Structure 1
Amino acid sequence: MTFDRRLKIAPSILSADFAALGAECRAVEEQGADWVHVDVMDGAFVPNLTFGAVAAKAMRPHIRGVMDVHLMVARPDDWIADFVAAGADFITIHPESGPHTHRTLQSIRKAGVKAGLALNPGTGLDGLEWLLDDIDLICVMSVNPGFGGQSFIPSALPKIAAIRNLIADRPIHIEVDGGVVPQNAGAIVAAGADVLVAGSAVFKGGSLAAPDVYGRNIAALRAGAAAG
């Protein structure tokens, strides 16, 4: 997978029709999505319960591009092997979710998958510089994890800028997850992000019967990003 900083739109399948996840993955890619973002919640690290590795494995054949797995789970080390087997291209963890973040990131990479680190709104950048050589993606959470449909937290913008400055020319994606809409996409990209995760902003108003709405929503995100 060749690294580049061109804008990537990653619809969160959490906002799709759960009864037809494979078809929804195909639809958003056909309508212009770059990645498909899979939010994994365990009901412990975060309140909600969503997908497991079995569901991700079932979705994988329907995703031509990148499957971006975000583990919002306790003890992520126990989950990694199953999501590697399910076909994840990226596996992102939270530093609060296990005792040895560096070791967990190394184990993801050792399995041949890109490693990501997600930073909650209340998580600072202390110590991040010591992990950069083992990270392929930093996910800035612009909402508190665990629920879809929340509003963007503005303090994420200076955090994104600080991370962009910290990583310099390293090949690390900056992903932003939570409350991303066309109206704030420009500011988010201007701060330094290159991957926008969007659930409601992509799926709202559309369906498998009307997938062109997904395409218009994705185009609106790109236009908002370009305007900024």
Structure 2
Amino acid sequence: LETAVPVDQRPATQLKELREAQLYSWAVLETQAYLNRLGVLFLGSFALLGGPIAYQTFDPLKQTAEFFLSGAVGAGFVVSLAVLRIYLGWSYVGDRLLSAAVAYEETGWYDGQTFVKPPEVLTRDRLLGTYEVKPALSRLKTTLLGTGGVLLLSGSLLFGLIASSADTDGVYGRGAARTPRIVSNEGIIYSKNVKSLQDLRGDDTAAAEEAEAQGG
């Protein structure tokens, strides 16, 4: 019934390829397996991308919340992109399954044709589209809404922390100005463990602490 359409361009074949593809098959995994894949992708993205980028701005020991929120935003964005890609693939095949006619190319040389499905093929394809593709798309939509909400919340919290703790120039994180602890005629002291500039002259430990407090 579909002999006019090349095998690899038939909607039912394309659906089979989605089920077997390493990434696109996530849409039809069992719920726990699906969540596990998303979790592994999130953690991997945090470790390899979000975390290292966040580290350039935030000190994990001193700005722990900001560091993790920033890294989580980056990792969550990667997860969202992956889910969006899966969604677009399933949506494309779903549209072809539910449609009464599908476009195809006979030889690949831009000789586009349209195949009108016979009733038997249309019934089969619409059953596949309704009972297999639509549930997968519903799951992916829910995931996109969830990741979008988490990104929005994390971004808002991060923005609030940055806005409330930025220096007078609006800079925050590793590049922000240090706040002096003591300002006197002798000079400025930043370290909490140094009481006067006299302490720095004969105490290498105090000098090192002061240098660290100044960001040196």
Q: TM-score range by the shorter chain?
A: under 0.3
Which protein is richer in helix relative to its size?
A: 2
> Could you say which structure has the higher strand fraction?
1
Larger radius of gyration, structure 1 or 2? 2
- TM-score, length-scaled by structure 1: 0.21
